């Protein structure tokens, strides 16, 4: 463990595996910029989401809109946070979803996927940051036994994009 403490994660590119922590790079969605194109480091990808997100404002904005928690399959919070951080880093980049019961995979990290789907059957697009924020509802509300210690297991869920109610965000197992 002493060797791992001396690693400066802000200098380690996120597109390279980090064996000492058993980390493998996330898989970015089709047509979206890669980790290398964004020059992201492991420090960028591994930031905790909920403490940072809570500090930006009231949690009342995490109201239940188009949302559900599914208790069938567990989600690893750390992997989900990696996808959130990637999508957040894309800012105004468009994240598009295809029409008619299809979905787009925006990010895959470990066993977790962050997907988008149109609820009205039309092609839709919104900024990727709104897709990241839409999934925060899942991270905040679909947690086993209310534990928020950062190491707990989360359950899959669905919530609408912050900027377009016709796009729903799924945070779910990557094998889905």
For 10-45, how does the pLDDT look when each residue is reduced to its tens digit (9 = 90+)?
A: 888 888 888 777 788 899 999 999 999 999 999 999
Burial class of residue 134 (count of CB atoms within 10 Å of its CB; 0-12, 13-18, 19+): buried
For residue 62, the model assigns a pLDDT of: 47
Model confidence at 107: pLDDT above 80: yes
CB count in 10 Å sphere of residue 58: 7
For residue 71, the model assigns a pLDDT of: 61
Q: How far is CA 80 from the centre of its chain?
A: 5
CB 133 within 8 A of CB 56: no
Of 7 and 44, the structure prediction assigns the larger pLDDT to 44
Model confidence at 154: pLDDT above 90: no
pLDDT confidence band for 66 (50 / 70 / 90): low
For residue 67, the model assigns a pLDDT of: 57
For residue 60, the model assigns a pLDDT of: 43
- 128-141 helix and 77-89 helix, angle to the nearest 10 degrees: 160
Q: Write the DSSP assignment of 138-151 as a string of letters.
A: HHHHSBGGG--SSS
What are the structural domain ranges in the chain? 28-33+49-56+66-173
Q: Compute φ and ψ for 58, nearest 5 degrees.
A: -65, 145
SS3 28: strand
Burial class of residue 118 (count of CB atoms within 10 Å of its CB; 0-12, 13-18, 19+): buried
d(CA 71, CA 151): 18
Look up the pTM and report it: 0.81
Q: pLDDT averaged over the chain? A: 78
CB count in 10 Å sphere of residue 36: 13
Residue 125, token pair as written in the block: 């697009």
Of 131 and 145, the structure prediction assigns the larger pLDDT to 131
For 165-176, how does the pLDDT look when each residue is reduced to its tens digit (9 = 90+)?
A: 888 888 888 887
pLDDT confidence band for 3 (50 / 70 / 90): very low
Residue 48, token pair as written in the block: 């905790």
């Amino acid at each position: 463990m002493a060797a791992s403490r001396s690693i400066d994660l802000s200098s380690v590119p996120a597109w390279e595996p980090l064996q000492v922590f058993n980390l493998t790079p996330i898989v970015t969605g089709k047509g979206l910029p890669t980790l290398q194109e964004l020059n992201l480091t492991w420090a960028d990808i591994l930031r905790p989401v909920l403490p940072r997100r809570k500090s930006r404002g009231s949690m009342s904005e995490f109201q239940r809109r188009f949302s559900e928690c599914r208790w069938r399959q567990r989600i690893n919070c750390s992997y989900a946070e990696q996808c959130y951080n990637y999508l957040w880093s894309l800012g105004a980049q468009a994240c598009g979803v295809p029409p008619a019961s299809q979905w787009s995979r925006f990010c895959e990290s470990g066993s977790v996927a962050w997907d988008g789907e149109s609820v009205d059957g039309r092609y839709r697009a919104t900024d990727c940051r709104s897709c990241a924020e839409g999934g925060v509802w899942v991270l905040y509300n679909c947690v086993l036994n209310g534990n928020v210690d950062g190491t707990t297991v989360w359950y899959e869920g669905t919530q609408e994009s912050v900027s377009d109610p016709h796009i729903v965000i799924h945070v779910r197992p990557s094998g889905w």
